[in-house]
Amino acid sequence: MGSKPMNKKIRSKFGLLFLSMVIASLGFGTYAPGGEGPIFVRTAAELGKVFLGRTCVLNTPKPVERVAVGEGRIARVRAISPSQILVKGLRAGWTNLIIWYKGEQVPSVFDIKVEVDPRQIQEVESLIKRLVPKSKVRLVPAGSELILEGTVTSQEDLQRVLQIVASYFRYKKEAREKEKEEGKSSTTINISTAGGVGLYGEEGGQLLRNVGLTVAVRNNLIVLKGSQQVQLEVRIAEVSRSGIKRMGLNFLNNNKWAIGISRGGTMEGSMTAFSESSQNGTDISNISKDLTSEAGIASPFGAAFNILVHSLKGDTLAILSLLKSQGLARLLASPTLVTMSGQEASFRVGGEFPVPVTDKDGGTTVQYKQYGITLRFTPYVVGEEAITLEVNPEVSEPDWSLGTASGGVAVPGVTTRTGYTTLQLKDGQSFVMAGLLKDECHLVLNKVPFLGDIPILGTLFTSKEFQHNETELVVVVTPHLVRPLNREEVGPLPGENLARDVSDIDFFLLNRSNLESPEYSGKIGFAR
């Protein structure tokens, strides 16, 4: 007799232990501030608010026969016994819980609101304040989304804030796919019988695993302080590589450097080195001698006094000047663009040519194909002087060798050279993009009329010339951080100081035609 009560106590304790093990194995909830567990026990009358990603155990006063939820994507319900129901918040929003008790035809309906735990928001804000101390950011939950508002000092701090929020409220891919599948299934669970403590439902405990949070960060109202306007100075040139080789400028490929001066004029060897490299220095006079003797023409600098330094920026500028004066380089464009940090700016110069297109009804329409020089760039100010640039230059031109006939009209093709790069520079630094090559081969045939058309013998009256031309596209980009000028800092533009209504007496007798031109307060282009 004494052993039966003991057996009942053992079974009851074993049942409670089994229930706790089952609940613990399901891994409900992702957030437990202050050491609290993710599961709370409530009655049906107390149920009204469920935190996102948290689970509540609902105790019912009567045995439950059936339970359902209005929107399966907002909350999930599972029965663990005839008198206990698990309710878990999946997405922020409103839904209702419908319970059918045994022996009753009219169900009981309870409203459920799923929202983000405010303590979780406070924890994220504290984390942002600790990791990004100069920022003042506040998180405002709005349904299933978060609105970020406040100020940061740089684009780099903004990216860090977004990464912190996105990593904290991450939503796993497999959980999202599982939720999508469950949204298509029934949200009603029938409870047949309870033969002890266990799980009920179509898939049992597999549906009760942690799916994380579904808060999406889509609205960003954070304001960046400081200078966030970027001016980009661009020079796009087409350089003849074969011309460079003929003129003997291959010394740029070695790692030597030197500094020297040269006098203007046509004298060979007029450039004299006064500084040599610590690694087998190079005499610049030899370079000048090679240039003048190979090219066979006068110095391109005329009577100027030149100082040349073998460095990245100096070589690039010197090469462009030298080749341009020799007719071996062509400056295609030199635009200056200004845009806000994070916003794309573009520049295009060129034209369009018509292309006849035949539609399905047999009619002919005209479409225009663009060609020319296009530059797109997106700057990001990531520090006080650091600028990250995404640059995409493109040069295209009509090419009749790639042409075709459309509607009986010859239409040229388009050759395109494009590039894309992302890099980081400081204010005023330059970078060079090169390697966009163009290789052209031409066969020039000259022959004497009639005699050159004679078979076999016509070869004696014919001359052939094979021309090979290789060009390279060079892009030099220099970014600057700029600010707008105040009204008092802007002087009149050239021509604005001219007197428009000048009488004959003032013009002929008093010599009054122009007003004094004030000095400009800034550089042309107003760069700072």
According to the model, what pLDDT value does residue 497 have? 61
Which spans in 40-106 are helix H? none
Say which range, 68-82, 119-133, 225-239, 346-360, has the weakest mean pLDDT. Answer: 225-239
**CB-based contact 161:148 (threshold 8 Å):** yes
CA distance 100 to 511: 104
pLDDT at 289 over 60: no
CA distances from 454 to 162, 443, 464 (A): 78, 20, 16
Count of positions (residues) in the chain:
528
Say which range, 240-244, 252-256, 355-359, 473-477, has the weakest mean pLDDT. Answer: 252-256
pTM: 0.44
CA distances from 462 to 224, 442, 451, 468 (A): 72, 16, 9, 20
pLDDT band at 76 (very low <50, low <70, confident <90, very high): confident
Say which range, 200-214, 267-281, 442-456, has the weakest mean pLDDT. Answer: 200-214
Say which range, 37-51, 422-436, 474-488, has the weakest mean pLDDT. Answer: 37-51
pLDDT digits (tens, 9 = 90+) for 436-463: 777 777 677 777 788 778 887 777 777 7
According to the model, what pLDDT value does residue 247 have? 46
CA distance 467 to 485: 53
pLDDT digits (tens, 9 = 90+) for 373-423: 888 888 888 766 788 888 888 888 888 877 787 667 788 888 888 888 888
Sequence-distant (≥ 6) Cβ neighbours of residue 324 within 8 angstroms: 237, 330, 331
According to the model, what pLDDT value does residue 82 have? 81
According to the model, what pLDDT value does residue 454 have? 84
What is the percent of the chain where pLDDT is above 90? Answer: 0
According to the model, what pLDDT value does residue 120 have? 80
Comparison of pLDDT for 361 and 517, the residue scoring more:
361
pLDDT at 329 over 50: yes
Q: Is 125 left (phi over 0), alpha (psi -120 to 50) or beta?
A: alpha
217-226 mean pLDDT: 53
pLDDT at 336 over 70: yes
Number of helical H runs and strand E runs in the chain: 8, 25
CA distance 299 to 243: 16
Comparison of pLDDT for 237 and 409, the residue scoring more:
237
139-152 mean pLDDT: 75
According to the model, what pLDDT value does residue 207 have? 24
Sequence-distant (≥ 6) Cβ neighbours of residue 55 within 8 angstroms: 28, 29, 38, 39, 40, 86, 87, 88, 89
pLDDT band at 322 (very low <50, low <70, confident <90, very high): low
Comparison of pLDDT for 268 and 353, the residue scoring more:
353
Name beta bridge partners: 425. Answer: 387
According to the model, what pLDDT value does residue 476 have? 86
> Domain-by-domain residue ranges, the chain?
27-116+179-213, 118-173+220-224, 230-241+330-483, 248-327, 491-528
According to the model, what pLDDT value does residue 47 have? 66
CA atoms within 13 A on the CB side of 501: 0
According to the model, what pLDDT value does residue 110 have? 82
Query: In the β-sheet with 55-59, what is the strand arrangement from edge to edge?
Result: 39-43, 55-59, 84-89, 75-81
According to the model, what pLDDT value does residue 225 have? 59
Taking domain 118-173+220-224, whether its CATH number is 3.30.1340.30 is answered by yes
CA distance 176 to 90: 10
pLDDT digits (tens, 9 = 90+) for 162-203: 778 777 765 434 444 444 444 443 333 333 332 222 222 233
The two tokens of residue 383 are 């520090």
CA distances from 28 to 39, 68, 90, 359 (A): 7, 20, 11, 61
Matching fold, domains 27-116+179-213 and 118-173+220-224:
no
pLDDT at 226 over 60: no
Domain 27-116+179-213: which CATH number of 2.130.10.30, 2.60.40.1080, 3.90.190.20, 3.40.50.720: 2.60.40.1080
Say which range, 85-99, 473-487, 501-515, has the weakest mean pLDDT. Answer: 501-515
pLDDT at 9 over 60: no
**CB-based contact 339:345 (threshold 8 Å):** yes
CA distance 465 to 447: 11
Unique residue bearing structure tokens 């021309």: 467
According to the model, what pLDDT value does residue 391 have? 85
End-to-end CA distance of the chain: 98
**CB-based contact 414:398 (threshold 8 Å):** yes
CA atoms within 13 A on the CB side of 312: 6
According to the model, what pLDDT value does residue 211 have? 29
On average, the pLDDT of the chain sits at 65
